[in-house]
Amino acid sequence: MALPLVQSAAACTDFSRTVLPYIHQLEALPQQFYQSATDLEALKQLYLNTNPLISAFAFSLALVPIVLVLSEINRNYSQIDRLWSLLPTFYNVHYVAYAHAKGLPTQRLDSLAILSIVWSARLTYNYWRKGGYQIGSEDYRWKIVKDYVNNPVIFFLFNVVFISLAQSVLLFSVTMPTYVLLLAAPISPAQVPDIIFTQVLIGCVFLAFNADQQQWDFHVAKGSYQKSAKVPPASKYTAAELDRGFNTKGLWSLSRHPNFLAEQSVWVTLYIWSCWATGTKYHWAGLGAAAYLCLFQASTWLTELITAGKYSDYKLYQKRVGKFVPSLWGEGMPSANAAGKKTK
């Protein structure tokens, strides 16, 4: 049996009943897949006979050697970055497809799948327009980390453990609450609060879209200004604001990373949604969201360390504007002036 028999919504969060009994499937799955690879009906049966959490986890592990080899051959460590906006939705849609195949109620899950696809479309589009899918494109932070480590063996181990393995598993783990929602579907039907959670997720995507668009508009104007030494006619920004080097208007006047706030909120909201659906205060599937928050803390620290070294006003920005959540006592940034130019 691929799914546990649960008698209550709370039991859907019992790790010892909903996960542990199926871990053994992980060991046999590669051989079973190989034996069924040329038989579509056998593959379908294997899919249905495998616990969906285990099959999703197995897929995240199968990606590791692929992205590792590609990153080492190309000396480009953004292979998993190209999948960042796609994998969580792949896993969410996988859970929804499995629920449909098993004849489970899917109203809540269908809404989640649609929202996840919209989330992917927004993030993928933003990554694409910044050149993320161009040949040779790489997150500038990986070069800085590599130069800091300055040891090919240690950096290779870092690539294996963190860049390739940990990040792939992380993108699986943020969707673990969807597995809990799948288990709860026959016991906890969709209700009015589900609409509220759906609206919150829509709000998160809308916030991220607007934050990204404001950042894009700023850097387009900044690039034009740097080339021509003239502020673009349709620009919302003054010469002093563009000289400052980083955006401090709109959502960026309230939060230093409003887009990151929205991204983290998506997966935290999904976890809280699963808690509500099961009537629990917390459960094991929240580990993915917690790890996601930790990663954003670390990556944002590195990003701001680099930015503060480039722009003289950034440390003031850090003092006066909240990192993610707007500060109730924040003073906000003063008007830009010549002192905000990039440091030499």
pLDDT 10s digits, 266-321:
999 999 999 999 999 999 999 999 999 999 999 999 999 999 999 999 999 999 99
Helices (H) and strands (E) in the chain, counts: 15, 0
Mean pLDDT of the chain: 95
CA atoms within 13 A on the CB side of 302: 13
Token output for 228: 């021509």
Whether the CB-CB separation of 116 and 203 falls below 8 Å is answered with no
Region 207-228: what's the mean pLDDT? 96
Does the pLDDT at position 16 exceed 90?
A: yes
- A 10 A CB-CB count for 35 gives 12
pLDDT class of 134 with cuts at 50, 70, 90 = very high
Whether the CB-CB separation of 255 and 263 falls below 8 Å is answered with no
CA-CA-CA-CA dihedral for 208, 109, 28, 19, to nearest 10: 90
The Cα 179–Cα 171 span in angstroms is 14
Does the pLDDT at position 343 exceed 90?
A: no
Please report the pLDDT score of residue 266 as a whole number.
Answer: 98
Does the pLDDT at position 329 exceed 50?
A: yes
**CA distances for 39 relative to 43, 48, 62, angstroms:** 6, 14, 20
Please report the pLDDT score of residue 344 as a whole number.
Answer: 37
Contacts of 286 (CB under 8 A, 6+ apart): 177, 271, 275
Please report the pLDDT score of residue 333 as a whole number.
Answer: 83
pLDDT class of 334 with cuts at 50, 70, 90 = confident
Does the pLDDT at position 225 exceed 60?
A: yes
> How far is CA 316 from its chain centroid?
29
Please report the pLDDT score of residue 342 as a whole number.
Answer: 45
Compute φ and ψ for 322, nearest 5 degrees.
-65, 150
The Cα 316–Cα 98 span in angstroms is 51
Please report the pLDDT score of residue 327 as a whole number.
Answer: 85
State the SS3 of 290-325: HHHHHHHHHHHHHHHHHHHHHECCHHHHHHHCECCC
Whether the CB-CB separation of 59 and 143 falls below 8 Å is answered with no
Does the pLDDT at position 204 exceed 80?
A: yes
pLDDT class of 213 with cuts at 50, 70, 90 = very high
pLDDT class of 339 with cuts at 50, 70, 90 = very low
CA atoms within 13 A on the CB side of 93: 12
Over pLDDT 70: what percentage of the chain?
Answer: 98
**CA distances for 265 relative to 153, 173, 259, 306, angstroms:** 36, 15, 10, 25
Nearest to 287 by CA among 270, 301, 263, 299: 270
Please report the pLDDT score of residue 337 as a whole number.
Answer: 61
Q: What is the pLDDT of residues 49-61, one digit of tens each?
A: 999 999 999 999 9
Token output for 181: 């929602």
Whether the CB-CB separation of 304 and 255 falls below 8 Å is answered with no
pTM: 0.93
Please report the pLDDT score of residue 99 as a whole number.
Answer: 97
Please report the pLDDT score of residue 328 as a whole number.
Answer: 78
